[in-house]
Homo-oligomer: A and B are copies of this chain.
Amino acid sequence: MGGVTSVERRRGPRAGNPGDTRSAIAGAALAEFAERGFARATIRSIAARADVDPALIHHYFGTKAGLFEEVLALGYGPAREALSDVVAGPREHAGERMARAILTLAEDPAFRGQILAIMRTAMTEPEVAHQAGGYVQQALLPALATLALGPDPRRSVSLAMSHLVGLMLARHVLGLDALQGSVDDLVAEVGPVVQGYLDGGTR
What's the nearest-Cβ distance from chain B to residue A76, in Å? 12
Contact of A166 among B132, B164, B174 (CB under 8 A): B164
- Which A151-201 residues sit within 8 Å CB-CB of chain B? 152, 154-155, 157-159, 161-167, 169-171, 173-179, 185, 188-190, 192-193, 196-197, 201
A 36-49 binary contact with B (CB < 8 Å = 1; else 0): 00000000000000
- Tell me the complex Cα distance, A37–B158, Å: 30
Cross-chain contact B189 with A201 (CB below 8 angstroms): yes
Cross-chain contact A129 with B161 (CB below 8 angstroms): no
Cross-chain contact A129 with B178 (CB below 8 angstroms): no
Cross-chain contact A137 with B176 (CB below 8 angstroms): yes
User: What residues on B are CB-neighbors of A173 within 8 Å?
Assistant: 119, 122-123, 129
Binding site for B on A (CB under 8 A): 34, 116, 119-120, 122-124, 129-130, 132-133, 136-137, 141, 152, 154-155, 157-159, 161-167, 169-171, 173-179, 185, 188-190, 192-193, 196-197, 201-203
